[in-house]
Amino acid sequence: MGRASSKEDAGALFHSLRSAYAATPVNLKIIDLYVGFAIFTALIQVVYMAVVGSFPFNSFLSGVLSCVGTTVLAVCLRIQVNRENKEFKDLPPERAFADFVLCNLVLHLVIMNFLG
């Protein structure tokens, strides 16, 4: 009786999450996809380092940091662009996107330098 209900609860939870997520705007979904891609690339690099060893450690850090930095900047963009967010109601989304582009330029400059 308890188990059956917890399974049903899990199923119900999953369905409600899915339907709520389906209601988000398309541009936020694109950002989420982008973040997912960056995390996936970071995971591949960590697994590769665990297998091969950390020999050019600076290159490893540079690769992982580019993924992590991209993730962080994309999340910041998502927060600022999301219309349901009360905190950034007055911020024009173009301004948020401009900040995002500039930060990414700095990030990739640093990454290229540290890559070795």
Partner 1 sequence: MRSLSFFFVFLLSLFPILCFSFNPESPTDRRVLVLLDDFSLKSSHSIFFNSLKSRGLNLDFKLSDDPSLSLQRYGQYLYDALIIFSPSTEKFGGSLDLAAVIDFVDSGHDLILAADSTASDLIKNIATECGVDFDEDSSAMVIDHKSYAISGTEGEHTLIVSDDFIQSDAILGETKIEAPVLFKGIAHSVNAANSLVLKVLSASPSAYSANPESKLLSPPLLTGSAISLVSVVQARNNARIMITGSLDLFSNRLLRTAVQKSGSQDKYDKSGNELFVTEISKWVFHERGHLKAVNLRHLRVGETDEPAMYRIKDDLKFSVEIYEWSGKSWEPYVADDVQVQFYMMSPYVLKTLSTNGKGLYHASFKVPDVYGVFQFKVDYHRLGYASLSLSKQIPVRPFRHNEYERFITTAFPYYGASFTMMAGFFIFSILFLYNK
Report the residue from 12, 13, 102, 112 that binds partner 1 according to the rule CB under 8 A: 112
Cβ closest to partner 1, residue 1 vs residue 22: 22
Contact of 71 with 35, CB cutoff 8 Å: yes
Interface mask (CB under 8 A) for partner 1, residues 77-106, using x and -? --------------------x--xx--x--
Distance between CA atoms of 60 and 44, rounded to whole angstroms?
Answer: 11
How far is it, in rounded angstroms, from Cα 104 to Cα 98?
10
Distance CA 38, CA 107 (A): 14
Distance CA 110, CA 32 (A): 24
Q: Which residue has the tokens 């694109």?
A: 30
Provide the minimum distance between the beta carbon of 95 and partner 1 in the complex, in angstroms, as a whole number. 14
Which residues are near partner 1 by CB under 8 A? 26-27, 30-31, 34, 37-38, 41-42, 44-45, 48, 52-53, 55-56, 59-60, 62-64, 66-67, 70, 74, 97, 100-101, 104, 108, 111-112, 115-116
